[in-house]
Structure 1
Amino acid sequence: MIKSTLLFTVFLTLAFVAPHNSNAQGTKTSDQQAMIKALEWQEAHPIYAMAPTDWTNGAYYTGVVQAHKTTNDEVYLAALKNMGWQNDWQTAPRFYHADDIAIAYSYLYVNGKRKDLVDLKPTEKFLDKHLFESNQWTDGSDAERSILWWWCDALFMAPPVIVEYALLKKDDKYLDAMHKYYKQTYDLLYNKDEHLFARDTRFVWKGNSEDLREENGKKIFWSRGNGWVIAGLALILNDMPEDYKHRNFYLDLYKEMAVKIKQLQQQDGLWRTSLLSPESYDHGEVSGSGFFTFALAWGINKGILDKVVYTPVVQKAWTALRASQHEDGRVGWVQNIGASPEPASADSWQNFGTGAFLLAGSEMLKLEK
């Protein structure tokens, strides 16, 4: 009965708090309105691959966190509290899979707002097992997948959570463990010539006829995969202590990738699902593009990227992202769940696409000030 009452209260908050804030602050910008419409549509149409604690929801609610940070609009915080309460603050169940801790990013944020509400014990248990217990990846018994974070998406799912948890605990051992596993992924999947990440070892070129490649002969670099990485870098750097001993590794990687991502933007403002073969699927894709827009706009706002050079890039991208949103708030042109470049359509959507849209909007709002 108590839980039902809380959920009903949160529903009322989601329904009425945004108009109240609008009256208090004057007319909201169209970008703020678009972001709230995206949130409201997604909340009314929940979707996830396996469970409400899975990585798709983790990515979506990471966008909700950043939207709240920027706007301080209670509609976002209400959604976060509601989700966490319904999930009983649990992680997903696979302790040695980075995807399954992504949801805890939002729990840690809510904990900073309402410590009496959040149970962080499941997050603590997950991270201690994930980072410090021997398993088939860390002990080398899985020959095919020889490292803990063997796919590039993992660099968005776990590291930002670990940074937040390390700050909470005031313990660099979590940052040091994160760096160890991050560097393994970097060494395995980062192409130092192209300044992009292969999604996994299927796409790491060995210089032989069996290498997977696009029809144009180019290497296969997945837009969303690299979006996961550079958006994750922005989240990591945003909160990583300035004096952390390995910080420059992440900053240099971010800058290097930002230059390449800028070069690959297409004329319509969006990026294609196959970054070096835009003709393979010649249309914009919103999840990768949203993550790129967020990361580049973040760099401008932090003074890391040249404002004159990069502002036109993100403005063009944000205009195209806005055009991908339906009247009802749904964000379209999102490639479905996958692990390589595939097409999208105006009607294809996923919750992590909404998350990418909210992430991008959260930094574009700062850019407009």
Structure 2
Amino acid sequence: MTGILRFPPRLLFCAVFLTLALGHASHAQLAAPIDKAVFKPKFIKQQLLKTARWQLAHPKHALTDWTNGAFYSGVFAAYQATRSKLLLDSLMAMGERTQWRPDKRYDHADDIVICQTYLNLYRLKKDRRMIEPTIEVVEKLRTEPGPEVQAHGITWWWCDALFMGPPVLVKLGLIENRPQYLTLSDTLYQQTYRRLYNPQEHLFARDAAYLWNEAGEGRKESNGQRIFWSRGNGWVMGGLVQVLQELPPTHPNRPFYVKLFKEMSARLVQLQQPDGLWRASLLDPAAYPGGEASGSGFDCYAMAWGINQGLLDQATYLPAVQKAWVALNNCVSPEGRVGWVQPIGADPRRDFSADSWEVYGTGAFLLAGSEVIKLKP
């Protein structure tokens, strides 16, 4: 529980974890208060810059790694919210260091997620060097079935891929006026949806290993429920935002994504815990005491965006977003580290604390703040 006492006493989020560990009081009794100060644009900008600076000063992975793809997506959103020259310079420096290239596997969504940032920067700078490698890898994906299909039957076989891949294909298709890339994205997305989406729970299994057979046999949580991973569904929610904010209103498949976004939002808002965060396992929260910041950050981001776009009812979702943003800010240490982030994995875990951080956790926080700042009081 390192670092808990460093937070201001009026912010009670971390007390939730201590009290739960001791077995006292209910979640409701310890719900984080709504502190209006954390919604002021000045404060949000300060938090975005502080957390981005800390993460930039503490690199952990190769720049083209999927973890950094998620982080730099957040950095770009934070730049849009703050217009910070430091953030823009950092983004450009990253692109120059990678020579605007994705990672090695052309057919693995993790290895192209960094291209989201290249495409975003291209729209600012109009330098073809920034997108030529992305065009090359997407064209190869479109024309050459790769090892992922051979191994799994579909290309995007895990739900995280719906954050990593579709925004790249959709952005590039619109930038280059190549509708075939939007068609490819739709095709691959539908394959993943049909395999992993549970129409009763309105949640995604992480991959086929977490599906149940017709007899109801499969991996279960301690309470007998199916395993639905918080960050996995957070990835999907974040990816839906990035697709929907690109697709024109007249795009024939836009209604599918809108419907999916609303269905998942309605389910996730039910699963938010009173302290403002979601647990690592969505359907067995009691077995995972302590909120998880990366999945919660993506959910906060998506719901705030949905409110801002008029897709989600403000009366229903604004309280959830407010609680989430308060709680997320209590995961930020005084120096700017976003803690309570579950380590890299494929399922719910318990091995994290206030000191646990990963670059995608910061990315999710930055995305969340970039939309919360737009909320109307």
Say whether the fold is shared (TM-score over 0.5): yes
Instruction: Give secondary structure in 2 for the equivalent of 1:339.
Output: coil
The equivalent position to 1:234 in structure 2, one of 241, 257, 260, is: 241
Match of 1:8 in 2: none
1:221 matched to 2:219? The reply is: no
Asked if 2 retains the 8 angstrom alpha-carbon contact of 1:107 and 1:118, the reply is: no
Q: d(CA) in 1 for partners of 2:219 and 2:299?
A: 25
Q: CA-to-partner distance for each residue in 1:289-331, whole Å, 9 max, x for gaps?
A: 0000000000000011011111110000000000000000000
The whole-number CA distance in structure 1 between the counterparts of 2:130 and 2:242 is 23
Separation in 2 of the partners of 1:289 and 1:124?
33
Matched, 1:265 2:266: no
User: Which moved further from structure 2: 233-242 or 293-302?
Assistant: 233-242
Which of 362, 366, 372 is 1:358 aligned to?
Answer: 366
Q: Match of 2:130, SS?
A: coil
| Aligned residue in 1 for 2:162 | 155
1:1-369 alignment runs, 5 A limit:
29-48=42-61, 51-116=62-127, 118-138=129-149, 141-142=150-151, 145-208=152-215, 210-343=217-350, 344-368=352-376
Q: CA deviation at 1:73?
A: 2.5
Superposed displacement of residue 198, structure 1: 0.1
Residues 209 and 261 of structure 1: is their aligned pair in 2 closer, same or farther, counting only changes over 3 Å? closer
Which amino acid in 2 is paired with 1:243?
T
Q: Is the contact between residue 166 and residue 175 of structure 1 (CA under 8 Å) also seen in structure 2? A: yes
Cα deviations by residue, 1:39-67 (Å, 9 ceiling, x for unpaired): 1000100112xx21010000000011111
Gaps in structure 2 of 5+ consecutive residues: 1-39
Distance 2:291 2:172 in 1: 35
1:333 partner letter: W
> RMSD across aligned C-alpha pairs, in angstroms?
1.4
The aligned amino acid for 2:71 is: Y
TM-score (norm 2): 0.87
Other structure's SS at 2:336 match: coil
Structure 1 range deviating more: 301-310 or 217-226? 301-310
User: Would the aligned equivalents of 2:45 and 2:81 in 1 still touch at CA under 8 Å?
Assistant: no
* Farther off after superposition, 276-285 or 318-327: 276-285
34-43 or 205-214, which deviates more:
205-214
Partners of 2:362 and 2:259 in 1: CA distance: 28
Contact 1:53–1:91 (Cα < 8 Å) also in 2? yes
Query: How far off its partner does 1:366 sit?
Result: 0.4
Matched residue of 2:357: which SS? coil
Shift of 1:137: 4.3
Letter of the 1:313 counterpart: A
TM-fit CA distance, 1:28: 6.4
Q: What displacement does 1:260 show?
A: 0.3
**Given residue 151 of structure 1, which amino acid in structure 2 is its aligned partner?**
W
Any unmatched runs of 5+ in structure 1? 1-26
Taking the aligned partners of 1:300 and 1:288, their CA distance within structure 2 comes to 19
Q: CA deviation at 1:259?
A: 0.1
Amino acid in the other structure paired with 1:115: K
Work out which structure has the larger RCO, using CA pairs closer than 8 Å and 6 or more positions apart in sequence.
2
Contact 2:119–2:130 at 8 Å: present in 1 too? no
Residue in 2 that maps onto 1:6: none
The one-letter amino acid of 2:361's match is: G
Query: Is residue 131–residue 178 contact of structure 1 (8 Å, CA) maintained in 2?
Result: no
Q: One-letter code of the match for 1:41?
A: W
CA contact (8 A) 1:92 1:100 kept: yes
8 Å Cα contact 2:74-2:365 kept in structure 1: yes
Q: Is the Cα contact below 8 Å between 1:110 and 1:118 reproduced in 2?
A: no
Shift in Å, 1:174: 0.5
